[in-house]
Amino acid sequence: MEIKSGCVVAMHYKLTNDEGQILDSSEGREPLKFLQGAGNIIPGLDKAMIGKKVGDAFEAVIEPEEAYGVRHEQMIQKVPKSAFQGVDELQVGMSFQAETEQGPVPVKITEIVDEVVTVDANHELAGVRLTFQVSIEEVREATEEEKAHNHAH
């Protein structure tokens, strides 16, 4: 059967960026299962699945808008070191939960200059064009339970 909304799909995949760096892969693991059309995977990949069948192998290049979104400059902020009380040594690459009016948001330190720390709340893959190498391992109708839960079992 061909993949359409309401199918459960199992796929093997390899995800790379424009530099050819492998960001994620299902190699050595069970294939990733998802419910098609339910927002389980990024929108661009969801679209690329439509009409594919078991045994199909293909490449999908997904622009940031259809993946993890574009980068927002306003999500990058400079804060004083004193805001990180209780942390022994601040380092670039460290992640924190920032308390905001909208609740906790994960942020990452991207730069430290003297007493000023730059933190970035953008998703790690925001602004990144993604290339997926996909092979379809299984396609079946979702059960009523899976549809109700909005994910694959």
Contact set with Zn ion (CB under 5 A): 149
What is the number of the residue whose Cβ is closest to Zn ion? 149
CA distance 143 to 74: 42
Contact criterion met (CB below 8 Å) for 34 and 3: no
| Distance in Å, CB of 12 to Zn ion, minimum | 22
35 or 62: CB nearest Zn ion: 35
The arrangement of strands across the sheet holding 116-120 comes to 76-80, 116-120, 103-113, 95-100
| Distance in Å, CB of 52 to Zn ion, minimum | 24
40 or 118: CB nearest Zn ion: 40
Backbone angles phi, psi at 111, to 5 degrees: -160, 145
| Distance in Å, CB of 145 to Zn ion, minimum | 7
Query: 13 forms bridges with which residues in the sheet?
Result: 134
6 or 104: CB nearest Zn ion: 6
